[in-house]
Chains A and B, each alone.
Chain A
Amino acid sequence: MKWSEFFVTGEPLIYAADVAIVLTIIGIVFVLTYFKKWKWLWDEWLTTVDHKKIGIMYIICAVLMLFRGGVDALLMRAQLTAPNMKFLDAQHYNEIFTTHGTIMILFMAMPFIIGLMNVVVPLQIGARDVAYPYLNALSFWLFFFGAMLFNISFVIGGSPDAGWTAYFPLASNEFSPGVGNNYYAVALQISGIGTLMTGINFLVTILKMRAPGMTLMRMPMFTWTVLITCVIIIFAFPVLTVALALMTFDRLFDTQFFTMANGGMSMLWANLFWIWGHPEVYIVILPSFGIFSEIVSTFARKRLFGYKAMVGSIVGIAFLSFIVWVHHFFTMGAGPAVNSFFSITTMAIAIPTGVKVFNWLFTLRKGKIRFTTAMLWALAFIPNFVIGGVTGVMLAMAAADYQYHNSYFLIAHFHYVLIAGTVFACFAGLHYWYPKMFGHLLNERLGKWTFWLFMIGFNVCFFPMYFLGLMGMTRRMYTYSAGLGWTPLNVVATIGAALMGIGFIVLCYNIYYSARYGERDMTGDPWDGRTLEWATASPPAHYNFPITPEVTDLDAYWVMKKNGNGLEVKEEQLKPIHMPSNSGRPFLISIAFFFAGFGLVFKWFTLAIIAAIFIILGLILRSFDDDDGYYISVDEIKRTERLARKGA
């Protein structure tokens, strides 16, 4: 292979990105060296097994990926603003919509949600860490290096260009030569392994490590949604693993699972992809529902209305999520029986979802509502998500779907559910739990600017797309002719996208501004919260709770505050706390995964095999590892707790 093929060449945008990447790397290395922070980085972050720090790293990556995916989106909107634009050519446009979709779902939405899960769930259930802290670190680093492997594709080797769904036969060697789709197969595989382990980890954590007295029906709603999400992850991700493995064999070793010739069955890819893919959208939406439930209940100062109905509907959605996947390809040509069945199951999902919407509305009813930024996101979520949901039911009608399929109507629908659902939830959760993560609040004034800019921009951007879809504009077209009459609405959509971009910039500025000038949270409970995470200091000591709390009811911390017991730390009750040791191995194993993946992408099998040996070596070393953690002495806990309370 020549160097000119190894690096992507010929595009001024790519050269600019090359320069930016090199400068960023030099900048990071310089800052770390100049301020002598390498050891700090290794000790405090790269080797950590603390769920709060891992959660923060997930969220930082998610925000970076939101930037990357957002730039992709803005490039697409720029190209589509006017007819016959020459800003991007067809190939470049294909690559950009592919990376936009893949990154936004798998490397932005998922890690953002998993990051919040990591920070919040152990605190909410009164635990000191997750069940398998070492595995948690490995999950994060596998996700991180999977995401990095995917992201370098646009400067090294070329981006995948067959859409985020990578449908065969388009994604086969025959129609997509080059390494782009190898990146897709391998990078998703690596980060998918990490996600699967997260699912197992949190399922065990929630089932086994709840504080005494916290029965399943006393769990906070966010924890409930995470529990059910874990079940979906555990059952859905193996399907992706297998499908991606078959894809990898097809692309690297010329097997014929999904090809057109030799008995291959290209549509089976679509089938397997969506058996995973549909549950996947519930993996990102259910925890979002949980986040909104917490926020609505806190800022309406009321117990969540219909807790049991809420739990029932989550379980119902999880069940239904596995029997609707065919609605993604009604037009594939299956018979009326198949399409009718999946049409009905799809519409049925609207029922439990509707139950939840009414529960939030009734929670708000007669509540003393405080309009904080987090609450604004939650309130905006309800009407916007309902628009997305109702158009979803329209798409669910198999016969009508032949008209809507793959048009901008569909684009508008899924952005309305994914942005108004998941992205709003991520921003809401970020504002809500920010003091718990960093010890200071995000500025409310800037937060509200972000909210209004982003929320209005979102509607200006995506609402016109429903009409563009009905006017016949199909997804993934890189340009259109002037006579079609689509120009005005496309201009409007681009303006909306720009507003969302400005909203994101304000959010980033807010993070910087609040770090310097933001209000410090001395109480640990800035919102007058209801669940146990607010019983700890902000940020919590790394052991979370000096004494494991006793739970007597739903909204455990609220009840404690009302009754005035369980809040004091009685020093004579303190006992040494057992905590897991840090380990650098998850980080190193994941680097080995990165090189193994890189070797596979380019079919450099020597590199892949050497890296695989390092992976196996890491696993062997782990199984002979007899470091089972350490104890924090009572004296040290006393010192930490006194310091924390002096602050309060």
Chain B
Amino acid sequence: MGANNHHESFPWKHVVGFVLSLVLTFAALWVALSSGLTAKAIIGVIVIFAIIQASLQLFMFMHMTESDSGKIQTINMAYAFFIAIVVVAGSVWTMSFVL
């Protein structure tokens, strides 16, 4: 199937993923050390970079969509993100009256 053909040709996907990961890592480093933004903005930008890089790696290296159960994997990851956001953001929101 698709996965088998993929192994015979040059692994473009991996190279692109690798380069993009490097770019995102150094970009984050640059933002933190020498962009001159406020601390809050720096944290925001770094978090966004991190999310992009995490999803990049899921697709490029961990072949999330490629196996027979690709659909299930994708739904699972999406649900995991949903729960993580609900638990963290929901707790912060709910408990905000004490803080």
Contact = CB atoms under 8 A, between A and B. Distances in A.
B98 A338 contact: no
Contacts of A323: 86, 90
A271 B83 contact: no
B93 interface: yes
A279 to B, nearest CB: 9
A335 B87 contact: no
* Residue from B87, B90, B94 whose CB has the most chain A CB atoms within 10 Å: B94
Given A207-B69, A323-B86, A268 B79 contact: no
B50 to A, nearest CB: 21
A268 B95 contact: yes
B72 A207 contact: yes
A335 B69 contact: no
Contact of A322 (B83, B95, B97): B83
Given A265-B98, A333-B97, A334-B97, A271 B91 contact: yes
Nearest to A267: B98
Interface string B8-26: 0000000000000000000
A326 interface: yes
B90 A268 contact: no
Contacts of B90: 275, 323, 325
9 closest A-B pairs by CB:
A235-B83, A334-B97, A326-B94, A271-B91, A322-B86, A338-B94, A334-B94, A335-B97, A275-B87
Interface string A324-339: 0110000001110010
A569 B8 CA distance: 44
B58 interface: no
A271 B94 contact: yes
Contacts of B41: none
B91 A267 contact: no
Interface residues of B, number: 16
Contacts of B72: 207
Interface string A222-245: 000000000100010001000000
B91 A272 contact: yes
A70 to B, nearest CB: 35
Contacts of A326: 94
Contacts of B82: 322
A231 B97 contact: no
A228 to B, nearest CB: 11
A338 B98 CA distance: 13
A271 B95 contact: yes
Interface string B44-72: 00000000000000000000000001001
Nearest to A337: B93
A268 B96 CA distance: 11
12 contacts: A207-B69, A231-B79, A267-B98, A271-B91, A271-B95, A275-B87, A323-B86, A333-B98, A334-B94, A334-B95, A334-B97, A338-B97
Which secondary structure dominates chain A's binding surface? helix
A265 B95 contact: yes
Interface of A: 207, 231, 235, 239, 265, 267-268, 271-272, 275, 322-323, 325-326, 333-335, 338
B43 interface: no
B80 interface: yes
Contact of B91 (A268, A333, A335): A268
Nearest to B75: A231
A239 B87 contact: yes
Nearest to B72: A207
A222 B96 CA distance: 40
A235 B79 contact: yes
A622 to B, nearest CB: 26
Nearest to B84: A235
Contacts of B80: 235
Contacts of A265: 95, 98
A235 B86 CA distance: 11
Contacts of B93: 338
A15 B90 CA distance: 47
A6 to B, nearest CB: 39
A242 to B, nearest CB: 10
A338 B91 CA distance: 11
B97 to A, nearest CB: 5
Nearest to B97: A334
Nearest to B91: A271
A537 B83 CA distance: 42
A265 B94 CA distance: 13
Contacts of B91: 268, 271-272, 275
A414 to B, nearest CB: 21
Contacts of A275: 87, 90-91
B92 to A, nearest CB: 10
Contacts of B69: 207
B95 A267 contact: yes
A215 B87 CA distance: 33
Contacts of A231: 79
A322 B85 CA distance: 11
A239 to B, nearest CB: 7
A271 B91 CA distance: 7
B98 to A, nearest CB: 6
A268 B94 CA distance: 9
A206 to B, nearest CB: 11
A325 B91 CA distance: 10
A207 B95 CA distance: 38
* Residue from B79, B86, B87, B93 whose CB has the most chain A CB atoms within 10 Å: B87
A137 to B, nearest CB: 26
B19 to A, nearest CB: 34
Given A231-B79, A275-B91, 7 more contacts: A271-B95, A275-B90, A322-B83, A323-B90, A326-B94, A334-B97, A338-B94
A309 B31 CA distance: 50
A632 B54 CA distance: 46
A480 B51 CA distance: 57
A323 B95 CA distance: 15
Nearest to A272: B91
A450 to B, nearest CB: 40
A541 to B, nearest CB: 30
Nearest to A329: B94
Nearest to A339: B94
A322 B86 CA distance: 8
B74 to A, nearest CB: 14
Contacts of A334: 94-97
B94 to A, nearest CB: 5
B81 to A, nearest CB: 11
A334 B92 CA distance: 11
